[in-house]
């Protein structure tokens, strides 16, 4: 059965009917396409795709431009599939929260069955295409990222532990690793450093959002840290993670795969993030702006940091001592010639709405 047939076989809500009559498949597709795009959390997807693109671009081996474009699209589709399956499973709690009540499934514009079929098809297609365009290792990493976000985070952690964001953040930190592996067919310490940067960035980012949504999370039964531990404990943890992020963000410069532009950017942006975290820590409980400022800047922070990494290293791909010591042998046949000689690694290589998180 074709996917389109499945998607349009379910009874449509009133909003998808025209003049009381069932719309034709063409009209259905054009009128409901925005809802299926919304299911993919496009603004969240942009951030994941951008970090994956940076990982791909700073890698020492470059794919053919066409294959590179296909690989990026596959990673984007994989990120979108994770968002769809997240909304599919969370439709019940989304209906209980003001921030998410008008998402396509609780809003009645897309059925859960349609979302499940769409998400699974998108995930399967993304993994398959990435395996063909790049390599099997990258495809496996993409599949693992989708699995971790949907099963480990959404199904298991989110409703059971206040550390859901900390552990579940591993899924969101994988895109640069996937991008690097898509280009090289192997892992390396460079993308693992970028993984660690995003991993430490995730808790302050999401906890800042949840501080202003504590009542909604409590009503939905989601044990976010502000709900379980309170505002004081949450702001303390935000400050701790923000401080830890600063030295970790400097590792690309310390290890020699990022230049001075990146180093300066990391110091300046890290200092701003810490200042905002201190302000949040000292703010009154009724002050919603402090958390909002930190949440907004955290998005800018990650975009600017990775853009600086791309700019700092994209113009000079010289050998990196870090990569030379710790690179792993590529198993892809297409890269056999490259693997036979010393690896040469590069020196360095938006906007998100709260209702999509």
Residue 214 pLDDT? 94
With a cut of 90, say whether residue 132 has pLDDT above it: yes
Over the stretch 315-357, which tens digit does the pLDDT of each residue have? 444 445 455 444 433 334 434 443 444 433 333 333 454 555 5
Q: Return the closest-CA partner of residue 234 out of 198, 272, 280, 273.
A: 280
Number of domains in the chain: 1
Q: Using one digit for the tens of pLDDT, what is the confidence trace for 95-127?
A: 999 989 999 999 999 999 999 999 999 999 999
Alpha carbons 157 and 202: distance in angstroms, whole number: 15
- The per-residue pLDDT for 61 is 86
Residue 177 resides in a domain: yes
The per-residue pLDDT for 7 is 52
Q: Is residue 23 part of a domain?
A: no
300-333: string of b/e by CB count within 10 Å (b at 16+)? ebbbebbebbbbbbbeebeebebbeebbeebebe
Q: How far apart are the first and last CA of the chain?
A: 33
Q: Give the residue carrying structure tokens 């702001």.
A: 235
The helix/strand count (H/E) of the chain reads as 18, 2
| Dihedral of alpha carbons 129, 135, 141, 147, sign | positive
Residue 109's CATH number? 1.10.600
3-state secondary structure of 258: coil
Residue 96 lies in a domain: yes
Mean pLDDT of the chain: 85
**What tens digit of pLDDT does each residue of 32-68 get?**
999 999 999 998 999 999 999 999 999 988 889 999 9
Structure tokens at 161: 């532990």
CA–CA distance from 342 to each of 117, 256, 319, 347, 348 (Å)? 46, 17, 9, 15, 18
* 208-245 pLDDT per residue, tens: 999 999 999 999 999 999 999 999 999 999 999 999 99
Residue 276: is its pLDDT beyond 50?
yes
Q: Which domain holds residue 135?
A: 34-356
Q: What pLDDT is recorded for position 20?
A: 40
Residues 6+ apart with CB under 8 A from 108: 13, 15
Q: What is the DSSP letter of 101?
A: T
Q: With bands split at pLDDT 50, 70 and 90, how would you rate the model's confidence at 285?
A: confident
What pLDDT sits at residue 34?
A: 95
Predicted confidence band at 31 (pLDDT cuts at 50, 70, 90)? confident
Percent of the chain with pLDDT over 90: 74
> Can you list the positions of beta strands (E) in the chain?
17-18, 21-22
Tell me how many degrees the CA angle 122-38-195 measures, rounded to the nearest 5: 65
User: Residue 19 falls within a domain, yes or no?
Assistant: no
Is 192 part of any domain?
Answer: yes
In a domain, 26, yes or no: no
Q: 22 forms bridges with which residues in the sheet? A: 17
Q: What is the pLDDT of residues 165-201, one digit of tens each?
A: 999 999 999 999 999 999 999 999 999 999 999 999 9
Q: From the CA atom positions of the chain, what is the Rg in Å? A: 21
């Amino acid at each position: 059965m074709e996917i389109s047939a499945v998607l349009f076989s379910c009874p449509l809500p009133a909003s998808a009917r025209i003049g009381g009559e069932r719309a034709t498949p063409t009209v259905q597709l054009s009128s409901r396409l925005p809802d299926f795009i919304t299911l993919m959390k496009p603004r969240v997807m942009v951030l994941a795709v951008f970090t994956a693109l940076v990982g791909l671009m700073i890698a020492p081996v470059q794919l053919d431009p066409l294959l590179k474009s296909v690989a990026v699209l596959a990673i984007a589709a994989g990120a979108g599939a994770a968002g769809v399956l997240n909304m599919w499973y969370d439709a019940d709690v989304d209906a209980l929260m003001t921030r998410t009540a008008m998402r396509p499934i609780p809003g009645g514009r897309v059925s859960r069955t349609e979302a499940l079929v769409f998400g699974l098809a998108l995930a399967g297609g993304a993994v398959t295409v990435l395996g063909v365009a790049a390599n099997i290792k990258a495809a496996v990493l993409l599949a693992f990222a989708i699995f971790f976000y949907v099963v480990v985070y959404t199904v298991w952690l989110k409703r059971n532990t206040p550390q859901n964001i900390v552990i579940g953040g591993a899924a969101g930190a994988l895109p640069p690793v996937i991008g690097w592996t898509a280009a090289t067919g192997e892992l390396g310490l460079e993308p693992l450093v970028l993984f660690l940067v995003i991993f430490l960035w995730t808790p302050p980012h999401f906890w800042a959002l949840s501080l202003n949504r504590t009542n909604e999370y409590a009503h939905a039964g989601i044990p976010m840290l502000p709900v379980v531990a309170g505002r004081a404990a949450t702001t303390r943890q935000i400050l701790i993670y923000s401080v830890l992020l600063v030295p970790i963000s400097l590792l690309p410069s310390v290890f020699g795969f990022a230049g001075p532009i990146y180093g300066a950017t990391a110091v300046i942006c890290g200092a701003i993030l810490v200042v905002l975290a201190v302000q949040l820590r000292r703010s009154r409980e009724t002050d919603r702006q402090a958390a909002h400022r930190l949440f907004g800047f955290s998005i800018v922070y990650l975009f600017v940091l990775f853009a600086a990494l791309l700019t700092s290293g994209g113009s000079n791909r010289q050998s990196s001592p870090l990569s030379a010591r710790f690179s792993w042998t590529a198993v892809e046949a297409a890269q056999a010639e490259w693997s036979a000689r010393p690896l040469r690694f590069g020196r360095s290589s938006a906007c998100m709405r709260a209702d999509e998180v």
